[in-house]
Structure 1
Amino acid sequence: MAYIMVDVESDGPIPGDYSMICFGAVIVGDDLSRTFYGKLKPISDQYLLEALAISGFTREEVFSFDDPYTVMHNFAEWISANSEGKPVFISDNNGYDWMFICWYFHHFLNLNPFGYSSQNLGSFYKGIIKDTSKNFKHLRQTRHTHNPVEDALGNAEAFLTIIKEHNIKISL
């Protein structure tokens, strides 16, 4: 089993009507050096300027990005090459990140290497400390910049800290 921390940036609130602009992934383990970064050409004419601005890219720049089929195919191959057993999708905001990754996998590849479920880092932390008003973000070492690889790395660091500090039994 491999936990893969994922972070997505998009130009709108939902896939299909809007586009996933880029995403990053990190294999969670002792060595956080196995990363993936995908930048995807828009699939829709619709976009929200304020959403796109979060990614740091302009509308003109994103049209030079890679074909979404190619990016998702490469991501599926990277997952297979970098994880043993069933990969587990985990993210800071899995309602958002999962929605885009799952939709893009099924739309472009007719499959999702992660299957049909995902995990939420924030909910994991709240359950561990038994307080739904707290969040884990103070445990990140890498600054949250909206570069999806850096954000996934910071979340992976927080996940590992939670596991270590609370002596959680987990297969990484």
Structure 2
Amino acid sequence: MSFIMVDVEADGPIPGDYSLVSFGAVLVDETLDKTFYGRCKPISDRFIPEALAVSGHTREDMMTFDDPEAVFQQFGDWLAEVSSGQPMFVSDNNGFDWQFINWYFHHFLGKNPFGHSSTNLGSLYKGLVKDFFVNFKHLRKTKHTHHPVEDAKGNAEALLHLKKEMGLKISLK
């Protein structure tokens, strides 16, 4: 099983009514050098300007982005190339990130290579330290910029810290 750290930027709170703007993915291994970056054209006329602004893109930018079906085909191909077995989806906020990735995979390709499960990095950290009120974000090395590849990389660094420094039993293949 391979662990894939994912981060999503979107122009609203839910897929379908709103659009995924961009997303990044990183294979969690010692090098963190296998990454994927996708930018998608809007699937809806609706957007929340404040949500879109977080991504650093404008609606005009988004109109030049790639067709979501093509992006998700490329993402699926990348996952097949870098993963050993079924990949495990991990993110900082899997309640948000998972819903977009899962919806887009099912809507455009009819299946999700991640299956039906995801893991939340923050919850994993809280369990390791036995404190519901802490967060892991101080473990990132890469600055959190809202560029999804950089954010996914920072979160992958935190997961590696949990393994190396805190004894998390996880096999990285």
TM over 0.5: yes
Q: Distance in 2 between matches of 1:146 and 1:79?
A: 22
Q: Which amino acid aligns with 1:54?
A: V
Q: Distance in 1 between matches of 2:56 and 2:85?
A: 35
- The residue number in structure 2 matching 1:46 is 46
Q: Distance in 2 between matches of 1:36 and 1:156?
A: 14
TM-score scaled by structure 2?
A: 0.99
Q: Distance in 2 between matches of 1:64 and 1:87?
A: 30
Q: Which residues of structure 1 form unaligned runs of 5+? A: none
Offset of residue 170 of structure 1: 0.9
- The residue number in structure 1 matching 2:100 is 100
Deviations 1:75-106 (A, max 9, x none): 00000000111100000000000000000000
Task: Name the SS for the 1:36 alignment partner.
Answer: strand
> Quick check: 1:119 aligned with 2:119?
yes
> Quick check: 1:6 aligned with 2:6?
yes
Listed as ranges, the matches of 1:89-168 within 5 Å are: 89-168=89-168
Q: Distance in 1 between matches of 2:143 and 2:166?
A: 23
Q: Which amino acid aligns with 2:73?
A: H
- The residue number in structure 1 matching 2:21 is 21
Q: Distance in 2 between matches of 1:163 and 1:169?
A: 6
- The residue number in structure 2 matching 1:87 is 87
Q: Distance in 2 between matches of 1:169 and 1:93?
A: 21
* Aligned sequence identity (%): 63
Q: Which amino acid aligns with 2:16?
A: G
The runs of 4+ residues in structure 1 deviating greater than 2 Å are none
Task: Name the SS for the 1:116 alignment partner.
Answer: coil
Offset of residue 128 of structure 1: 0.4
Q: Which residues of structure 2 form unaligned runs of 5+? A: none
Offset of residue 166 of structure 1: 1.3
Offset of residue 112 of structure 1: 0.1
Q: Distance in 2 between matches of 1:120 and 1:16?
A: 23
Task: Name the SS for the 1:155 alignment partner.
Answer: helix
Deviations 1:28-59 (A, max 9, x none): 01110000000000000000000000000011
TM-score scaled by structure 1?
A: 0.99
Task: Name the SS for the 1:24 alignment partner.
Answer: strand
Q: Which amino acid aligns with 1:111?
A: K
